[in-house]
Structure 1
C-alpha cells in the first residue's frame, strides 16, 4: 500500500478554504443584526469607532473572529487587512496584487469565490469604492454577498451579473489566490 504524497500547496489551499468557510459562517451568523441607538454597532466598537460607518468594520470583526485579520502592510491569503475605510481596503489588496476586476465567467480567475471580498459602487461615481461585502456563495451569474451597514443592518443580498438594485460590484478582493 502506497501513501499518497500531498503537496504543500494543496495543504495550504485546504487550510485557506477552511479559514474562509469559517469567516463566511461567522458573517452569516450576524445576518439580521441591526445598529443600535445613535448608530452604535459592536463591529465599530471593536475598532474604536462605535457609531461610524461600519461596513468595513463588519468585515474586520468577522475576520478577527475567524483568526484571519492582519495589520501587516503585506500578507498572503487568506489574511484580511484591518482597515476601517473601504478605499483603504481596496488599496491594501491592490498593493498585495489581489485586487481584480470581477468576471462572471466560471472559467475566469476573476470569478468570485467563497470568502472573497467585493468592493461595491453604490452611487455610480468613478471611484467605485463606496461599500464592501463578503462573498457567501456564487451560483452561475449570481453572487450572494453579506454586507454590514446595508440599510443599517447586516444583510445577505444577491447580485445578478454583478448588480443589485442600483449597486454594482466594482472590484473583487481575492482571499483565495495571490498572484
Structure 2
C-alpha cells in the first residue's frame, strides 16, 4: 500500500513536472508566435512606411513639375521688336526756356544707345546731330542741342528716332517720328548754302529727309541701308545739301552726319591692286616716268598710279585721269567729278589715296589702297623713298589728305 502511495506521489510529481514542462513549452510557443507577429507587424509597418515615403517623393516631384509648368505658363514673355527695329517711341519734342527736349519711351524693348534728330524749315534741313543716351529703359528724356540763336523764330519740322547696336553688332533703329516745334531766337533769315556738285552715294544707315512738299504725311522720304541716291554737296564745307532718291528731292543740310549716312558708290578694284603689287621692289621709277613722257627722273608717285591705271584700261575708259601732279591734276579731277572722300572714310581696294605731309591741305603724294582692315589702311606707293613699297596708316590719319573714288 505504501509502495502504491509512494508510486502514486511520484507519478503525480512527474505528471506535474510534465504538465509544467508542457505549459512552459506552450507558453514558449505562444511567446514566439507573439514575437513573430509583432516582428512581422513591425516589418510590415516599415515596408508600408517605405512605400508611403516613396509615394510622397513621387507626389513632391509631380507637384514640383506642375508648379514649374504653371509658372512657365503664367510667366510674362518679353515682347521683342522685329529684327533690326527698336520699340522706342518718341512721345514729344518741346521747346521751353531756350531748351529743346525730346521725351521717348523704350516700351518693353531695349533702350537706344543714341537719339538722332534733324531740323528743317519749309522742306530745308538746317540742323542735325546725335545724342548719347543714358541707356536706361522706360520713359526718358534728352536735350536736343539745337542752336536756336542761329534760327529765325518760326515753326520747324523735327524728325527724331532711336538707334542702337545689337548683340551681333548690327544696327537697330526705331521708327522715325516727326514733330512741328516753334524754335529760334534770331531775327535773321535762314541762309541756305549753294549747291555745287553731285555724287552717286550709297546709304549706310537709315535716315530721312524732308521733300519740297511740306505736308508731314508726304514730306518725309525714308532712306534705307543700301539705297543708291544722288547727293549734292557744298564742296567748300564738304556738307550734304541736297538729296534725290527715285526722283524725289529735298534739302538735307548736314555736316555731322555726312560720313555716317552716306558712302560713295565705289566698289573698288582688285585689278589695279594686283598690277601695283607686281611692281613692288622697283627702284627709281624709270618705267613709269618714261612711259608718261618725261626724258629724265621726276617725282614719280603720280606717274606710277597713272601707269597702273593704264595697264587696266582705266585711263582710256575715263575712270582714272592720267596725271603727274597730285594737287593740280589728280585731286581736282576727282573733286570736280564728285568722287572725293575725306580722310575719315574706310576705303575700298583700288581707291586712290592722296597724302598731305605738311598738314596744310595740299596733296603732296599719292598711292593706291591695297586694303583696309581693323582700322588700318594698307597702301602700295611709288616713289616711297624712290621705290615701290607697301605702307600702312591708321584710318583718319592726319597724313591722309583724302581719297579719289574711281567709278570702276
Normalised-by-shorter TM-score class: 0.7 to 0.9
| Matched residue count | 142
- Whether the aligned pair in 2 keeps the contact of 1:34 and 1:154 (CA below 8 Å) is yes
1:29 corresponds to:
278
Which fold has the larger relative contact order, with Cα–Cα distance below 8 Å and residues 6 or more apart in sequence? Answer: 1
Map Cα deviations across residues 42-86 of structure 1 (whole Å, 9 max, x no partner). 10000112411100000000000111114x8xx5xxx11001100
Rounded Cα–Cα distance in structure 1 between residues aligned with 2:383 and 2:347: 21
Q: Tell me the equivalent position of 1:137.
A: 371
Q: CA RMSD in A?
A: 2.2
Residue 170 in 1 paired to residue 381 in 2? no
Counterparts of residues 52-131 of structure 1 (less than 5 Å): 52-70=298-316, 75=318, 79-87=319-327, 88-103=329-344, 110-124=345-359, 126-131=360-365
Following superposition, the deviation at residue 176 of structure 1 comes to 4.9
Q: CA deviation at 1:99?
A: 0.9
Following the alignment from structure 2 to structure 1, what is the Cα–Cα distance between the partners of residues 304 and 338? 23
Q: Distance in 2 between matches of 1:112 and 1:30?
A: 22
The answer on whether the counterparts of 2:361 and 2:401 sit within 8 Å (CA) in structure 1 is no
Contact 1:31 1:154 in 2 (8 A): yes
Q: CA deviation at 1:170?
A: 1.2
Cα pair 1:117 1:132 within 8 Å, conserved:
yes
| Cα contact 2:346–2:395 (8 A) shared by 1 | no
CA distance in 1, matches of 2:406, 2:378: 16
Query: For 2:292 and 2:275, how far apart are their aligned partners in 1?
Result: 17
TM-score (norm 1): 0.72
CA distance in 2, matches of 1:102, 1:127: 11
Displacement after TM superposition at 1:20 (Å): 1.9
- Residue 42 (str. 1) matches residue 290 (str. 2): no
Q: Shift of the alpha carbon at 1:134? A: 0.3
Q: How far apart, in 2, do the equivalents of 1:141 and 1:111 lie?
A: 8
Contact kept? 2:343, 2:403, Cα under 8 Å: yes
Structure 1 gaps, min length 5: 1-8, 10-15, 104-109
Query: Displacement of 1:123 after TM fit?
Result: 2.3
- After superposition, the C-alpha distances for 1:112-154 in whole angstroms (9 at most, x for unaligned) are 1110011101222x13300001000110210001110010001
Q: Distance in 2 between matches of 1:56 and 1:62?
A: 10
CA contact (8 A) 1:143 1:162 kept: no
Gapped regions of structure 2 (runs ≥ 5): 1-227, 229-265
* Distance (Å, rounded) in 2 between the aligned partners of 1:176 and 1:113: 12
CA distance in 1, matches of 2:374, 2:335: 26
**What is the distance in 2 between the residues matched to 1:26 and 1:173?**
18
Q: TM-score, normalised by structure 2?
A: 0.33
Note if contact 1:54-1:84 (Cα within 8 Å) is conserved in structure 2: yes
Moved over 4 A (4+): none
